[in-house]
C-alpha cells in the first residue's frame, strides 16, 4: 500500500489534491481537511479488493469480557467495571480540571504504563507526582510528539517480558505525523494520529487513554470523528472554586452511558466521594427561594438545592441568569408561572442557581425550580424538611418522572419528611396555593 494526501470536504466529501478555502462542490468555507488516503500498489485488480469470508453472527462465540481495574472506584464505575483489552478512551475537560492528575494516579496503579508526555516535560510530571505522593515505579515516560515514533517504541516493548498494560497520551492535540503538513492540533493531524493509535490498541489489545482539550465553545478540540473513533468518551466537569469533580460518560461501547463518577480534589489528588447522595447538599435551613430536589445521575439519585432570586428590574429587558440548569427550561417554567399561576415575574430580574456546581439536565427538577421561583416572588419559604420532584408541563400540570419512588425514598432517608410530587396536587397552581399562599 502507498498513501497520498488529499483534501477532503467535511460537508460533502469532495476531495482534491490541493487545499482551497472554499469547497468547489458545496461552497462551504474552511471545510477542506488534509487527509491521508491509502491506495493499492497492484493496478491489475481493476480496482477490486480482496474477497473476505462471510461469518454468520450466530456461529460466533465470546467468552467472559475480562476487564482490568483502574483501582479507582468512581472511574471503574463510569467505564462499566474497568478497561477492556484494546479499549480506547477519550478523556476531555477544561484545562486545570484534573485530567492529568487523574491519569497519573491511574498510571501509578497499572502494572506497566507508558505515559506519552506531549504537553509537559518529564521534570514537571515528576514534580507533580512527588507533590501528590504517587509511586512512579510502574510509569515509563515517553517525551515524544511524533505518532510514528511513539507507535514504533510501543511496538518494540509489546514482545518484551514487560509489555505495556496501559498507554496514556497527554494530549492528542500535541501529537502529529510527518505524513501531513498541518500543525499539531489541526483537524487532519488529530484525526490521523487518533486513528493510528486506535489501530495499535486494537492490534495488541492494549488499553489507550487519550487526553482531549476543549475549545472556548465547550467542545473537544479537533474533528467530530474523533469521538466516533474511540470506544468511550468521558467528560470531566467541575469549577475551579470548588473541590468537587464530576466524570460523565458521553459514549461507551463497553458499558452504560448513564453513570457518573464524583471526586473531590485534595492535596493527595482526586479522591473518591463515598457519600455521593449528599455530596451536593449542605446544611439546609428553610428560606424563600430555596427548594431541595432529587435528580438522577446515572443509577443513583442525588439531592441538590435549587436557589432562586426574583427582584424588580430597572432595565428595559429584565435579566434572566441561570447557572446549573438550562436557561431555556427556566424561561418555559417562567411562562407557565405567568400564564397559569398569575405570578408577576415579567418585569423582574430572575436568577436561578444549582448549589454545588452540578449541572441538572433532566426534567425531574422542574417542580423544584417552579416552587423556588414562586417562593422567592411571594417571600415565603417552603415547609421545613420538604423536597419536590416532578416535571412541569406547558399546561401547568405536574407529571411523574422516571424512578420517582427511588428519589422519594432517598430524600426521606436523608431526613426530608415531605416530598411534593404529582400526588399532592395535579397542577402547579393548586400546589403553590396549598403550600405558599
Higher pLDDT, 305 or 244: 305
Whether 50 is covered by a domain: the verdict is no
Per-residue confidence (pLDDT) for residue 113, from 0 to 100: 94
Q: Which domain holds residue 354?
A: 278-435
Q: Is the pLDDT of residue 172 over 80?
A: yes
Of 240, 274, 308, which closes a domain?
274
Whether 132 is covered by a domain: the verdict is yes
Of 235, 259, 274, which closes a domain?
274
Per-residue confidence (pLDDT) for residue 187, from 0 to 100: 80
The pLDDT tens digits for 300-313 are 888 999 999 999 99
Cis peptide before 356 (omega within 30 of 0): no
Per-residue confidence (pLDDT) for residue 356, from 0 to 100: 78
Per-residue confidence (pLDDT) for residue 276, from 0 to 100: 74
Within a 10 A sphere around the Cβ of 263, how many other Cβ atoms? 25
Per-residue confidence (pLDDT) for residue 8, from 0 to 100: 81
Per-residue confidence (pLDDT) for residue 250, from 0 to 100: 87
Residue 269 sits in the same domain as residue 282: no
- With cell 500543525, the residue in question is 183
pTM, two decimal places: 0.78
> Per-residue b/e over 80-118, b at no fewer than 16 CB within 10 Å?
bebbbebbbbbbbbbeebbbbbbbbbbbbebebbbbbbb
Rounded to an integer, the average pLDDT of 323-352 is 94
Per-residue confidence (pLDDT) for residue 395, from 0 to 100: 95
Assign 226 to helix, strand or coil: helix
Within a 10 A sphere around the Cβ of 313, how many other Cβ atoms? 14
Within a 10 A sphere around the Cβ of 7, how many other Cβ atoms? 18
Residue 354 sits in the same domain as residue 431: yes
Whether 47 is covered by a domain: the verdict is no
Residue 245 sits in the same domain as residue 294: no
Per-residue confidence (pLDDT) for residue 1, from 0 to 100: 46
- Going by pLDDT thresholds of 50, 70 and 90, the confidence category of residue 18 is confident
Percent of the chain at pLDDT > 90 equals 54
CB of 392 closer than 8 Å to CB of 366: yes
Whether 63 is covered by a domain: the verdict is no
Cα gap 255→199, rounded to integer Å: 21
The pLDDT tens digits for 342-376 are 998 889 999 999 987 788 988 999 999 999 999 99
Cα gap 333→327, rounded to integer Å: 10
Domain CATH number, residue 267: 3.40.50.300
Residue 117 sits in the same domain as residue 248: yes
Per-residue confidence (pLDDT) for residue 115, from 0 to 100: 95
pLDDT, the chain, mean: 87
Residue 25 sits in the same domain as residue 159: no
Within a 10 A sphere around the Cβ of 283, how many other Cβ atoms? 4
Assign 259 to helix, strand or coil: coil
Higher pLDDT, 377 or 3: 377
By DSSP bridging, strand 320-323 and strand 348-354 are parallel
Assign 373 to helix, strand or coil: helix
CB of 139 closer than 8 Å to CB of 113: yes
Whether 60 is covered by a domain: the verdict is no
Query: Would you give the DSSP letter of residue 220?
Result: B
Residue 97 sits in the same domain as residue 229: yes
Q: How many domains does the chain have?
A: 3
Task: Name 142's bridge partners.
Answer: 116
Residue 385 sits in the same domain as residue 297: yes
Q: Is the pLDDT of residue 10 over 80?
A: no
Residue 162 sits in the same domain as residue 96: yes
Percent of the chain at pLDDT > 70 equals 91
Q: Is the pLDDT of residue 46 over 50?
A: no
Residue 339 sits in the same domain as residue 405: yes
Task: Name 183's bridge partners.
Answer: none
Assign 271 to helix, strand or coil: strand
Per-residue confidence (pLDDT) for residue 210, from 0 to 100: 95
Choice among 62-66, 117-121, 369-373 with the minimum mean pLDDT: 62-66
Q: Is the pLDDT of residue 415 over 90?
A: no
Rounded to an integer, the average pLDDT of 89-103 is 90
Task: Name 68's bridge partners.
Answer: 83
Cα gap 83→138, rounded to integer Å: 17
Within a 10 A sphere around the Cβ of 15, how many other Cβ atoms? 14
Per-residue confidence (pLDDT) for residue 65, from 0 to 100: 74
Q: What does the block give as the cell for 183?
A: 500543525
Amino acid at each position: 500500500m502507498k498513501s497520498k494526501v488529499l483534501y477532503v470536504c467535511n460537508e460533502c466529501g469532495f476531495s482534491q489534491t490541493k487545499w482551497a478555502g472554499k469547497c468547489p462542490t458545496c461552497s462551504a468555507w474552511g471545510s477542506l481537511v488534509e487527509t491521508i488516503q491509502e491506495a493499492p500498489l497492484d493496478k491489475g485488480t481493476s480496482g477490486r479488493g480482496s474477497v473476505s469470508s462471510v461469518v454468520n453472527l450466530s456461529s460466533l462465540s465470546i467468552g467472559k469480557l475480562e476487564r482490568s481495574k483502574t483501582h479507582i472506584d468512581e472511574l471503574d464505575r463510569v467505564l462499566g467495571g474497568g478497561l477492556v483489552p484494546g479499549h480506547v478512551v477519550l478523556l476531555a475537560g477544561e484545562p486545570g480540571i484534573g485530567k492529568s492528575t487523574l491519569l497519573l494516579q491511574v498510571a501509578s496503579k497499572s502494572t506497566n504504563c507508558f505515559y506519552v508526555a506531549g504537553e509537559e516535560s518529564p521534570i514537571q510530571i515528576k514534580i507533580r507526582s512527588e507533590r501528590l505522593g504517587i509511586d512512579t515505579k510502574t510509569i515509563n515516560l515517553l517525551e515524544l510528539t511524533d505518532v510514528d515514533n511513539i507507535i514504533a517504541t510501543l511496538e518494540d516493548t509489546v514482545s518484551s517480558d514487560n509489555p505495556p498494560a496501559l498507554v496514556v497520551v497527554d494530549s492528542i492535540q500535541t501529537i502529529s505525523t510527518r505524513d501531513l503538513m498541518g500543525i499539531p492540533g489541526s483537524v487532519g493531524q488529530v484525526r490521523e494520529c487518533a486513528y493510528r493509535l486506535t489501530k495499535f490498541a486494537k492490534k495488541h489489545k492494549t488499553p489507550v487513554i487519550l487526553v482531549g482539550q476543549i475549545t472556548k465553545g465547550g467542545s473537544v478540540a479537533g474533528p467530530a470523528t474523533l469521538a466516533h473513533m474511540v470506544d468511550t468518551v468521558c467528560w470531566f466537569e467541575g469549577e475551579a472554586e470548588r473541590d468537587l469533580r464530576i466524570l460523565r460518560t458521553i459514549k461507551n461501547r463497553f458499558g452504560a452511558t448513564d453513570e457518573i463518577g464524583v471526586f473531590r480534589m485534595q492535596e493527595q489528588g482526586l479522591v473518591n466521594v463515598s457519600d455521593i447522595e449528599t455530596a451536593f447538599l449542605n446544611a439546609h435551613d428553610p428560606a424563600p427561594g430555596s427548594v431541595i430536589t432529587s435528580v438522577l445521575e446515572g443509577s443513583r439519585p442525588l439531592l441538590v438545592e435549587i436557589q432562586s432570586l426574583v427582584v424588580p428590574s430597572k432595565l428595559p429587558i429584565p435579566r434572566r441568569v441561570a447557572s446549573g440548569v438550562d436557561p431555556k427550561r427556566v424561561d418555559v417554567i417562567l411562562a407557565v408561572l405567568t400564564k397559569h399561576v398569575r405570578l408577576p415575574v415579567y418585569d423582574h430580574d430572575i436568577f436561578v442557581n444549582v448549589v454545588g456546581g452540578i449541572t441538572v439536565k433532566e426534567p425531574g427538577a422542574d417542580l423544584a425550580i417552579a416552587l423556588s421561583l414562586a417562593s422567592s416572588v411571594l417571600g415565603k419559604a417552603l415547609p421545613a424538611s420538604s423536597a419536590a420532584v416532578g416535571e412541569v408541563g406547558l399546561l401547568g400540570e405536574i407529571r411523574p418522572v422516571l424512578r420517582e419512588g427511588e428519589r422519594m425514598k432517598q430524600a426521606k432517608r436523608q431526613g426530608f419528611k415531605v416530598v411534593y410530587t404529582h400526588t399532592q396536587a395535579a397542577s402547579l397552581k393548586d400546589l403553590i396555593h396549598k403550600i405558599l399562599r
